Amino acid sequence: MFGVGGFSGGKAGGPVYEIEVNEGSVNMKHFQKAANERVTNGYRMAHVYAQAGNTVVVWERVS
């Protein structure tokens, strides 16, 4: 994983997102483990993008 960052909609109680950027290809075993941990911690996968050989995953906090 290259980096993780987070932001909110700017309002109290607004949406909260975390972004992961993976350099190159994604290790699917790690990705599966991370995705299951995120769901357990109240997140859902909101978006997945590919750009310049990197994968960007946006997680949204839902609970």
Q: Which residues contact 63 (CB under 8 A, 6 or more apart)?
A: 42
Residue 5 has pLDDT above 80, yes or no: no
Is 63 inside a domain boundary?
no
Is 49 inside a domain boundary?
yes
Is 44 inside a domain boundary?
yes
- 5 or 46, higher pLDDT: 46
Is the pTM value of this prediction over 0.85?
no
Domain that holds residue 38: 3-8+15-58
Is 34 inside a domain boundary?
yes
Structure tokens at 49: 């993008």
Q: Which residues contact 27 (CB under 8 A, 6 or more apart)?
A: none
pLDDT digits (tens, 9 = 90+) for 6-62: 555 566 666 788 888 888 878 889 889 989 999 999 999 999 998 888 888 999 988
Is 28 inside a domain boundary?
yes
pLDDT, residue 38, reads 92
The structural domain count of the chain equals: 1
Contact indicator for 44, 60 with CB cutoff of 8 Å: yes
